[in-house]
Chains A and B, each alone.
Chain A
């Protein structure tokens, strides 16, 4: 339309302020969408992380905490599960499978998970997808290790690479289990879950590096001299594990099994249903999400206020331009719509650039963001939500345009063809 073209040319003639206005709207749009996308990404990634597991059992604690440390490798367990209890619950007739998990060690900032080869069979993510090997195979020896895709990529390890693991999460501190080299025998395919950032070893491997340790204190004196070759697999029966995953033969058994775990007399244990724990988690983080969203909305408000300021400031210098347009036949309401058009166009360009930038940026920097976040983020990309927000911003820009539009309308009525400046 004619007026839109005129509005655009006029805005273009004031390049500096126009660019800055568009930029501020673009930045605020990007921020709002970015917050939402990372939130959604985290959510879908969390929801994709565990499937097909009926229950997670660990030392007694809140369900969220148990879920976080056992599946997402966030935080630390309060206590362990004794091997006897594990065996008792694994042997029940309603159990289809169990996978023990032993956490607490790390290598180069990546968590080491002690487990059994059942893990590669029964652990499922996304739509009940099984883990796959990109290279090599499951561990068989005590010091065999299977790397998550991201571990292998970031550390540049290939099959046959050797490394030490250290106690706790900090590498290269006093508590390194020196001279206990693990060897990479397998590398998993990418899953988009915390598995990608985990090093998997056998339970015996974890046990072996802790021989002689006492309550987290490194071995001293004679026991520190033990050589790997002396260690026999049979001696490496662990006393305890961190948690275990349970698959039951029927869904109807879940609640009974859970009750039995929670009321187990000889040890304080908790069993949580992953889905239930997740929804509790969302309730906890909901408040933080609201706060973030609130900040983003205020940034949008600031951006749109900038738009209004720019246009209002330009009004005075444009009175002549408007008088000229009136003289060639523009109606007062054309003058009104000229300014509404301008506000709408700037908001539209800003919102489009912002939405495009955040989408491209998140795709381009997804690995860096995931490394910083410590867990993978679900699929980024244009969504319906982006469209709604962009349309919303454009609509607000349009509505804000009514103010300068109305002022210019009034001005053009009293100015007529004569402009006094």
Chain B
């Protein structure tokens, strides 16, 4: 880590390149970092690489080149399984839609990360009963008191309710980083603002990386990042940079 950076950022990306298996160049990021506990709003048009960047930060995609220090771990040097373990231990992920495993009930969905990380499970509670209790309380706070009690399969919930269950799952066990990929795009305006506020207040010390192309939501966050300002893939550089630049960036 370079000495001029603040100590232990939550996400610290340097000279990151990401290419898909078919050769498509999705990411070329000189620098991008998120401090601990920082709430970052990532905005950008469709196809600009937002989801791809989240995938790299979450550890499901390995950087093609460059450095990705995530939660203090060198993801660019680690095996896929080790990155998966970091995600299970310390991250929460919310998608745009279809966040829940349909055949599990609400509590089971919320406690899913505990199935893949013993540390996470231990942080939630020492026994299964306590973990269930914790999950139920979290769902209560998110306004799903009755639904949590009724042992209903997740598939029967409304979209807004499903997103709140997903938030509960992302929040369970005090993660250090919460990644949300357009979690509100299926919600109406009112539900959307309420959802973001609840998520941010429940996230406590966790850093939050929130993706949306709706710039009006940025008011809830500490910082707004426009992906086109950090991501310079070949195609865009042809337009915005001198012809000599690509070769240099490639190295």
Contact = CB atoms under 8 A, between A and B. Distances in A.
Interface of A: 2, 6, 9-10, 12-13, 320-321, 323-334, 413-414, 416-419
Given A12-B103, A329-B113, A418 B55 contact: yes
Given A10-B103, A416-B61, A334 B80 contact: no
A219 to B, nearest CB: 81
B164 interface: no
B93 A9 contact: no
Given A2-B116, A10-B103, A419-B95, 12 more contacts: A6-B115, A327-B58, A327-B93, A328-B87, A329-B117, A332-B84, A334-B116, A413-B60, A416-B52, A416-B60, A417-B95, A418-B95
B73 interface: no
Interface string B40-71: 00000000000110110010110000000000
Greatest chain B CB density within 10 A among A13, A321, A331, A417 is at A417
Contact of B95 (A9, A321, A327, A330): A327
Interface in B12-33: 20-21
A418 B52 CA distance: 9
Contact of A414 (B21, B81, B116): B21
27 contacts: A6-B115, A9-B103, A9-B104, A13-B102, A13-B103, A321-B101, A325-B101, A327-B58, A328-B88, A329-B84, A330-B84, A330-B88, A330-B116, A331-B81, A331-B84, A332-B84, A414-B20, A414-B21, A416-B51, A416-B52, A416-B60, A417-B51, A417-B55, A417-B58, A417-B181, A418-B51, A419-B95
A324 B88 CA distance: 12
Q: Which 9 residue pairs spanning A and B have beta carbons closest together?
A: A329-B88, A13-B103, A329-B116, A327-B93, A416-B55, A416-B60, A328-B112, A331-B84, A328-B113
A319 B115 CA distance: 19
B176 interface: no
Contacts of A9: 103-104
Contacts of A326: 60, 84
Interface residues of B, number: 34
Contacts of A414: 20-21
B85 interface: yes
B113 A323 contact: no
A333 B51 CA distance: 22
B52 to A, nearest CB: 8
B99 interface: yes
Nearest to A10: B103
Nearest to B96: A418
A419 B117 contact: no
Greatest chain B CB density within 10 A among A323, A328, A419 is at A328
B103 A328 contact: no
A204 B102 CA distance: 81
Nearest to A321: B101
A321 B108 CA distance: 14
A328 B86 CA distance: 10
A417 B54 contact: yes
Nearest to A331: B84
Contacts of B169: 328
A332 B55 contact: no
Greatest chain B CB density within 10 A among A324, A325, A413, A416 is at A324
Contact of B181 (A324, A325, A418): A418
Contacts of B60: 326-327, 413, 416-417
A14 to B, nearest CB: 8
Contacts of A6: 115
Nearest to B61: A416
Greatest chain B CB density within 10 A among A6, A323, A331 is at A331
Interface in B76-90: 80-81, 84-85, 87-89
Nearest to A320: B98
A113 B87 CA distance: 83
B10 interface: no
B208 interface: no
